[in-house]
Chain A
């Protein structure tokens, strides 16, 4: 990817992060940590990679995306809003009774959402179903799913992992947002899902490990996944929970806590300063 393209994605990812903060702060609740850790991957997928059309969100040939860690709806909504699926201002209504932006993604209500999620451990199964449908219909779309690293503790993830390999779903690319944290602490302390890469390998997947905040690595991995035949690919994306907001980075407490007004302001200022530094 050339420098200009990287710069463009950095700007977009920062706008996505600002939307995350706006949504969560205006709701007074929600999950900033895991939304910020995944923002760069969201920017790459929706602004560089995926074949989607905000004017035709249900097009049967589109690429699919499943936010399996549905609590990171702020990242998904902010991305979709900036991509033109609905007005960015609507992020201010997040989690409010008068809004369609449910706390966790709802595919009936929110344009661009391909699967309702929220109960962890199910999104990968839905993605398997979508990938199977793509094979049955001989369509060329690809299916992307983002899981949390803590989410891997759900046994159903491994039912789906087995299933995807069994049916050789090479049109499926999964991301693990490897930020090392869940609600109650470090994943290694709460219930260690390691070794993650080896587990997926043992289940028959192509496995790649990248820096989740490096667009060149993201692109390389996603393109590699497209070239793999006969098996699904998982990209273990080493990330920083809370990425981009200094006081949230690597802090377990920001998993599901909304910033207060002044904190939100500080976060937006930091993100704006970063934008300015990009020129």
Chain B
């Protein structure tokens, strides 16, 4: 695999790989070249339907197909999936617990130049609040392919939060993943950095910097935001006594909130959340926007050190 690949591209590749299963149907809303469901369409044109610019309709068409036994992947940008079609996702997909997998690409500010109207920073909050929904955000191409394949196998709705930006491969080709189980990428006892999506890689970089400064940081990739890996998080709280979450999402309602819900209920420790500070994104190159919004290894290091001061009292 290339050194860098966007998770949306890995998603399209995974669909093309599992497409030999005749039960799989893929829907798109006039964005197949961006969501990369075109990779599936090339192989299986008869099972790819363009629904046009009509995301609400697409979600419930997916529900209808699923009610007849199909496993349906419905794709559009995260903004128009979770945002525009929330009611359809809740009432037509999740309430009847149907086998629809939502491939929501272009999540977060790393969309870049299109700007705030296209940068969903609220979708994790929306999607994880719906009963029956599984919410997944892979960190790299390898985990994306594995998790898309697993999503196809589990029964019920799944929201796959995917990115536009090319991101580094973190995992070896043969790494294994399980929906609902976080991955401890690096051990450490002073603090746990729990990250998701494209923030996993800067978390690893930050942990290295901290190590050089004598701070032992654990790094955990929470690719499944719901159901969240309670055991792994509680273990991290007990063994490190401080947790910093990192995500490309509003600090309200996303990974930070999900981890805090576990921590306060099971083993309260000082926590800090790094994410988008409750403001809209803007246009720009992703490489300019990520630092502008504090989504950098340097900021992780900074927040980690401040959190450690709190931990020490």
Chain A residues engaging chain B, CB cutoff 8 angstroms: 60, 64, 66, 106-108, 114-119, 121-123, 125-134, 136-137, 156, 159-160, 162-163, 166-167
Contact = CB atoms under 8 A, between A and B. Distances in A.
Given A116-B96, A136-B47, A126 B67 contact: yes
A126 B63 contact: yes
Contacts of A118: 91
Contacts of A131: 64
Given A107-B67, A116-B96, A122-B88, A163 B25 contact: no
B215 interface: no
B91 A129 contact: no
A125 B97 contact: no
B52 A119 contact: no
Interface of B: 25, 46-47, 49, 51-52, 54, 56-57, 59-70, 72, 87-88, 91-92, 95-97
B91 A162 contact: no
B96 A106 contact: yes
Contacts of A119: 87-88, 91-92
Contacts of B46: 136
A116 B92 contact: yes
Given A125-B63, A133-B67, A160-B61, 6 more contacts: A64-B67, A106-B95, A116-B95, A123-B60, A129-B68, A160-B57
Nearest to A156: B56
Given A136-B25, A162-B52, A107 B96 contact: yes
A125 B92 contact: yes
Given A115-B96, A122-B92, A163-B51, A130 B67 contact: yes
Contacts of B25: 132-133, 136
Nearest to B56: A156
A139 to B, nearest CB: 9
30 contacts: A64-B68, A114-B67, A115-B63, A115-B67, A116-B91, A116-B96, A117-B91, A118-B91, A119-B91, A122-B56, A125-B57, A125-B61, A125-B88, A128-B60, A130-B65, A132-B65, A133-B25, A133-B67, A136-B70, A156-B56, A156-B57, A156-B88, A159-B51, A159-B54, A159-B57, A160-B61, A162-B52, A163-B54, A163-B57, A167-B49
Nearest to A66: B64
Contacts of B92: 115-116, 119, 122, 125-126
A126 B72 CA distance: 13
A129 B51 CA distance: 11
Contacts of B62: 129
A125 B88 CA distance: 10
Given A108-B97, A125-B92, A132-B49, A115 B57 contact: no
A60 B68 contact: yes
Given A118-B91, A134-B68, A137-B68, A129 B63 contact: yes
Nearest to A134: B68
Nearest to A160: B57
A136 B23 CA distance: 10
Contacts of A121: 56
Given A108-B97, A115-B96, A132-B64, A60 B69 contact: yes
B6 to A, nearest CB: 28
Contacts of A64: 67-68
A129 B64 contact: yes
A123 B47 CA distance: 22
A251 B25 CA distance: 45
A107 B92 CA distance: 10
A123 B66 CA distance: 14
A152 to B, nearest CB: 14
Given A115-B96, A119-B91, A163 B52 contact: yes
A60 B70 CA distance: 12
A66 B68 CA distance: 13
B193 to A, nearest CB: 40
Nearest to A115: B67
Contacts of B60: 122-123, 125-126, 128-129, 156, 160
A161 to B, nearest CB: 9
Contact of B57 (A114, A116, A128): A128
Nearest to B63: A126
A165 B283 CA distance: 38
Nearest to A108: B96
A126 B287 CA distance: 41
A217 B213 CA distance: 84
A179 to B, nearest CB: 24
A129 B65 CA distance: 4
Contacts of A159: 51-52, 54, 56-57
A131 B97 CA distance: 20
A123 B49 CA distance: 19
Contacts of A133: 25, 64-65, 67-70
A121 B92 CA distance: 11
Nearest to A143: B64
B61 A129 contact: yes
A274 B63 CA distance: 41
Contacts of A117: 91
A108 B92 CA distance: 12
Contacts of B87: 119, 122
A240 to B, nearest CB: 29
A178 B97 CA distance: 32
